[in-house]
Structure 1
């Protein structure tokens, strides 16, 4: 009981002293005389006004998010379903890279106050169902060929953002993702040959 009373007293003292100290510090900094030849004018801190993202910027964020989520979901299915060590390695690399890419996309969307979905789009979900239903003997070929198509689509989306996007940070994300997507395409092409 004594401990509780002591903690309440310390907390109350802190509440009383902290605002007083803040006010005193503010009065000290406000009490500086203006420099010679300048008027004592209060200026507001500069604020950064960010333009609203363009339709292209929003479309890029949404499409990139869906593609990354699909890459992760499809990779999980492939990791669990394949018996081929090379396909398992490719699926693992795709998952890791798409997790990293989507972290950048999600952070950019948060800064731009754009809400993104939590699942791949309907076509990508349907492809996941095809993967789940595929017989073990034909799964690897289906996975590799369809992932190659999806990565070609992803590269086109990144290229469109680089060429037509307005937001510099999103253009940078698209430019940074291009070599990753090209690397995925090379892995997938090599595995299909």
Structure 2
């Protein structure tokens, strides 16, 4: 009789799509979910734009920055995906609408035009990222997501310094 009760319960969970990795953890709030999605979308965009910059930028420092951002955002996104899985937050498969528009704009650029536009956009993006990190640290509720924000902060700060150094020459 016990098997009969357990099997329908397991089937109900499976049909509802419920697993430990898919059901949002109770300590995850809207801020945590928004942060994970935004960071993931941003990482995907950083990786794609960085790859374009690696081959199409005029300046070696800009190309090298592209490589650094590809490497660091790839590692950061692995961490984001792991945390999202642990807390049950589903992530999108591609960058958001704004990032896709920026990627289209950058893909049409080459040389010094790309250097100038990309560095300026990345400085703005990284400043916005730091603001989002600070918001997560104050408004988040998940220890895992807030720790991710703390772990990401020095990486984003180092990128901002690198990009500002490139801009000022």
Deviations 1:54-77, CA, capped at 9 Å, x for gaps: 011101110110111111011011
- Describe the SS at the equivalent of 2:58: coil
Alpha-carbon distance in 1 for matches of 2:72, 2:93:
17
Alpha-carbon distance in 1 for matches of 2:156, 2:112:
27
The RMSD of aligned alpha carbons is: 1.1
The answer for the alignment partner of 1:174 in structure 2 is 149
Instruction: After TM superposition, list the pairs within 5 Å mapping 1:35-54 onto structure 2.
Output: 50-54=25-29
- 2:133 is aligned with 1:127: no
128, 136, 147: which is aligned to 1:161?
A: 136
130, 142, 150: which is aligned to 2:117?
A: 142
Q: Greater RCO between the two (CA within 8 Å, min separation 6)?
A: 2
TM-score if structure 2 supplies the norm length? 0.82
- How far the C-alpha of 1:135 sits from its partner, in A, is 4.4
- How far the C-alpha of 1:137 sits from its partner, in A, is 3.3
56, 68, 87: which is aligned to 2:62?
A: 87
Deviations 1:110-139, CA, capped at 9 Å, x for gaps: 112211012111111111111111243311
Q: 5+ residue gaps in structure 1?
A: 1-49
Alpha-carbon distance in 2 for matches of 1:71, 1:148:
12
Alpha-carbon distance in 1 for matches of 2:52, 2:102:
11
TM-score if structure 1 supplies the norm length? 0.72
- 2:73 is aligned with 1:110: no
In the alignment of these two chains, the number of paired residues is: 144
Q: Which protein shows a greater Rg?
A: 1
Alpha-carbon distance in 2 for matches of 1:142, 1:186:
17
Q: 5+ residue gaps in structure 2?
A: 1-24
- Describe the SS at the equivalent of 1:83: coil
The answer for the alignment partner of 2:5 in structure 1 is none
